[in-house]
Structure formats: structure tokens, C-alpha cells
Amino acid sequence: MTRTGEQYLESLRDGREIWLDGEPVHDITRHRAFRNTARSIAALYDLTHEAASAPVLTVPDTDSGTDVHRAFVIPTDHAALVARRRAYKTWSEASFGFLGRSPDYMASGIAGFAALPEVFNGETFDGRENVAAYHRRMALGDLYQAFTITNPQIDRTRSAAEQEEDDLVLRVVKEHDGGITVRGAKMIGTAAVFGDEVIVGTIEPLAPQDIAHAVSFSIPLDTSGLKFVSRTSYEAGARSVFDNPLSSRFDENDALLVCDDVFVPWERVLVYRDVEASLRQWWATPAYNNFVHQAATRFWTKLEFLAGLAILIAKANNTYQLPPVQTQIGRILGWVNIARSMLIAAETECEPVEGGTGVMINREIASAHRAMAGDLYPKVLAEVKLLAGGGLIQLPASGYDLQHPTLGPLLRKYVRSPEHPAERRIKLLKLAWDALGSEFASRHEQYERFYHGAPHVYLPAIVRDGRPDLCERLAQTCLDGYRLDDVPYGVA
Ligand SMILES: Cc1cc2nc3c(=O)[nH]c(=O)nc-3n(C[C@H](O)[C@H](O)[C@H](O)COP(=O)(O)OP(=O)(O)OC[C@H]3O[C@@H](n4cnc5c(N)ncnc54)[C@H](O)[C@@H]3O)c2cc1C
């Protein structure tokens, strides 16, 4: 069975070590920086038990018969990919696309590992059985996998082992009969503090000398020595749900992971001292492509939400029917459909998992989506802001002003538009500011640009994963179709 929201919240009260503003956080389900977001995630789990959404989100596990989330399942055909996308869509709509790392993100990555376990049969360590057991544990326990697979930005011109100190980037410091001890840091644990386990690995290539850093494992969040250092909490900074409707409820948090001599039992190790397997874990298995499938669904949902805001804002300003505004709305809706159609195309042109089980979305289109989304998101924000004008800024500091005996009547008189009395207008524009201009919004812009890597990494990947030869050949065919002496100059 999948968990209920209450069971999920209970599991968070386990003594995990989280730091915020120089203080330890003892219970994230009660702390003002985390509690609402924890409840928003709990609501996702509750959806797996509701009559309308349960069949979309869950499916009986073939071996045990128990219901598991679809994201843990290895899709075997196009229809299974579509079914998985519908599950992603149901969850992403519950947060309007603002919970990027909801539990289905990494669950589909784990299914990707299980689809091609041979990748974990490395030179020095055979992780295949551990991967299979890990997949079962996470799927049947309905566990939430956080992940930190990026090395900290200390000196990007040096490899992991060449940094000023050899344990800045997380590495193995000791091997025991029962497991390994690791020390060092990883970035950026988005939603990590809300997870049950964190997987550590490295998604970018390591150098041959980085062998001690070429390790991957998944451990519970309450493991001794595991520390999460949170960024500023937007949820804690929110005045109320009315004033900050998104940041007060969907601040998925980002944290630095520090492993202070953490013991990892062998059965939790997936890759060990293997530079090649460390990379192939993400790229040779469907793991990365499965991430994109979830992310592309969420991105489409988020653009639908922003387009909806644009329409509501134009109506509130009574500009909706103006031809230039229709042009702007049309542009935004066109972008929504680009996002939707890339997703559908990636499913339609799905590929078999070579050497493994099942299918995955089209690698070439997944690679292009990564670049499209990072480029497009700032443009969407800019276009909606352009529509909104100064109304986004001319807002009372909080909803209390509306309730104040002197200020309330003033605001009702001066902050309004046709069919939009003050409260309705202020409510809409506060939501819009949270999505477009707040610190939370700015973090989301950075997220959409970087969560799948930096442009200097993903743009060359389009050349690598794509078919540049087809484009080159077409242009060459044109060139080959005429010669200098074919047609005399001046003759049509
Ligand atoms: C909001 C947010 C959430 C994230 N969540 C997660 C998460 O949950 N888990 C996780 O593991 N990671 C996460 N990440 C990290 C993400 O994977 C990285 O940001 C991404 O891989 C890029 O790495 P970087 O930030 O270190 O940038 P860098 O690699 O340092 O690149 C930054 C810039 O430096 C320049 N640059 C650096 N190196 C080169 C080079 N070799 N050649 C040319 N230019 C270069 C480029 O201008 C580049 O854009 C998150 C990031 C953000 C912003």
C-alpha cells in the first residue's frame, strides 16, 4: 500500500539533523519554515488513496499485489508511459507545478536503475543485487527519495580529487567489513529535508583520479553524521497564505548535504570506486530520461498555471480583449503547447532500453527539452509581468490592511477594477507576485535554468544525443544541387 499523508508526516519525526539560521530544527512537521510544505507533500500521499486519483497514481505491484506509485514501475510500452505521465500530472497540478522534486521525480529514477541493473556490475563492485533490493524497498515502502548528485562549486577548474582538500567533495575515507565511511559535501538537496532516504552520486563525469569520489549509495535521513544546511526559508518569511499563497505552502527547500564520517552498509552501496559506473548510473540507464519525463509534465503544468494567471490578470485589468494583449496571451499559450507537444512527442517516439527492460521517452527530445525549458521559463515570467504592470507592486503589505477599519475602506475605494473589488484583485495580484517576482519566484527561475545541469553541459549534449548529420546532410544536399556555371548570371 502507498502511505497516507499522516503516515508520511509521522515518518519525518525521526531525529534527522537539519540546520536553519544557526539552529537545529527538531521537528520539520511543526517548524514554521517547513510545516506547510510538509503538509502539501502529505496531501500528495493522500491523493493516492482518493477514489478519483488512486487508479491514476497507483498500480498493483506484479509480485506482491500491493499498490505502488506508478513512478516506481518500469514502463513496458507507450501506453505505460502515458499512464505514468497522467500520474505525474495529477501530482504536479496539486502544487501548480511548484514542487519540482515531489516523490515521483526520483522514484522514476530508481525505476530507471532497475530497468538496466547491468550498469551496476562494475570493475570493482557488483551492485546489481543491491539495486534490485533498493528498488523493492523504495517502491513497496512508498519511500521518498531525496538526492544530491552535484559536487559543490568550490573550484570548477579542478577535479574532485584535486580540490584544496581531498574530502571537500564527498569521498570514501575508509572501507570496513560491513561497509564504507564517507566524508565531504554534495549540493543541492532540493526537498531533501522532506525525504526518507537520500541518494548520493555524481551525475557529471569524474576524472580517473577521482576514484574515491566515484561512489553512490542511498541511506536514511536520520543516519548518524548526515547534516543538511538549509537555505533561507521562504515559507518562514511568508506573512500568511493570502499574502504568499505559493511560498507559504510549496517551498520545497534546498540544502547543502554534509557527511561527517557517515557509515554506509555495503547493502546500501550501488556504485563503488568506479568512475565509469558512477556516470553510467544516470545516463546509460533510463534514470535521467525518466527524470525528464516527470519534469516535462510538471513544466507543462507550471506553464498552464502561469498562462492562467496571465488571463486572469488581463481580465482584472480589463485589457483582455485588446488586440495587443490577445497577442501576448497567444504567445504564452503557444509556449504552453510547445511544452505539451514536446512531452507527447517524446512519449510517442519512445525507445527500448537497450540491454535492459522496458521503454523510455525519446532521448533526443528529452535532451532538447532540457534546453528549451531553461530558455523559455524566464521569457514566460517576463511576458506575464509585462501584462501585469504596476498592479503587481501597488499592493498592501498584507491582508490585515484590508481588514483594518480605516485602511480597508480606502483600499476598497482605490484598489479595484471592473468586476474586481479590492479583495479579489489583491488576492490575484499577490498570487501573481509570489509566482513571478518574489524571492520564491526568483529561486524557481534559477531552478528551471539549472536543475537539469548548466548550459555548457546540456547544450553540447544535444549535439551528442541528436542527429546533427541529418541536418548537415540536408544543407549539403542543397549545396550539391547547383554549381557556379549552372545558370548564367542575370538569367531567371
Ligand atoms: C534551485 C536548484 C535546485 C537544485 N536541486 C538539486 C538537487 O536536488 N540535487 C542535485 O544534485 N542538484 C541540484 N541542483 C544543482 C544542479 O544540478 C546544478 O546547479 C547544475 O548541475 C549546474 O551545476 P553548478 O550549479 O555547479 O554550476 P556550474 O557547473 O558551476 O556552472 C555555473 C556556470 O559557470 C560556468 N562554467 C562552469 N564550468 C564551466 C565549464 N567547464 N565550461 C564553461 N563554463 C563553465 C557557466 O557559465 C555555468 O553556467 C539544483 C540547482 C538549483 C539552482
| Per-residue pLDDT tens over the stretch 154-178 | 999 999 999 999 889 999 999 999 9
446 is in an annotated binding site: no
The reported pLDDT for the residue numbered 466 is: 85
Between the CA of 175 and the centroid of ligand 1 the distance, in Å, is: 30
CATH 1.20.140.10 domain span(s) along the chain? 287-476
Confidence of residue 491 (pLDDT cuts 50, 70, 90): low
The reported pLDDT for the residue numbered 461 is: 87
The reported pLDDT for the residue numbered 489 is: 66
Is residue 138 predicted with pLDDT exceeding 80?
yes
The CATH number of 5-277 is 2.40.110.10
The reported pLDDT for the residue numbered 490 is: 65
Q: The C-alpha cell of 60 is what?
A: 498493483
Q: Which atom of ligand 1 is nearest to the CA of 443?
A: 1
153 lines ligand 1 (CB under 6 A): yes
Confidence of residue 49 (pLDDT cuts 50, 70, 90): very high
Helices 363-388 and 422-436 cross at an angle (nearest 10°) of 140
155 is in an annotated binding site: yes
190 is in an annotated binding site: yes
Sign of the Cα pseudo-torsion (334, 340, 343, 346, in order) = negative
Share of the chain above pLDDT 90, in %: 94
444 lines ligand 1 (CB under 6 A): no
CATH 2.40.110.10 domain span(s) along the chain? 5-277
91 lines ligand 1 (CB under 6 A): no
Q: Which atom of ligand 1 is nearest to the CA of 149?
A: 11
Q: Which atom of ligand 1 is nearest to the CA of 101?
A: 8
- Going by the DSSP 8-state scheme, the letter that residue 121 receives in this structure is B
Is residue 200 predicted with pLDDT exceeding 90?
yes
CA angle, 148 then 151 then 152, to 5°:
105
157 lines ligand 1 (CB under 6 A): no
CATH top-level class of 287-476 = mainly alpha
Between the CA of 437 and the centroid of ligand 1 the distance, in Å, is: 22
Q: Which atom of ligand 1 is nearest to the CA of 455?
A: 49
150 lines ligand 1 (CB under 6 A): yes
To test the pocket of ligand 1, the residue of 144, 202, 442, 451 to mutate (highest count of ligand atoms within 8 Å of its CB) is 451
Average pLDDT, the chain: 96
Q: Where are the alpha helices (DSSP H) in 284-421?
A: 287-316, 323-348, 363-388, 399-403, 407-414
Calpha distance 214→149 (Å, rounded): 11
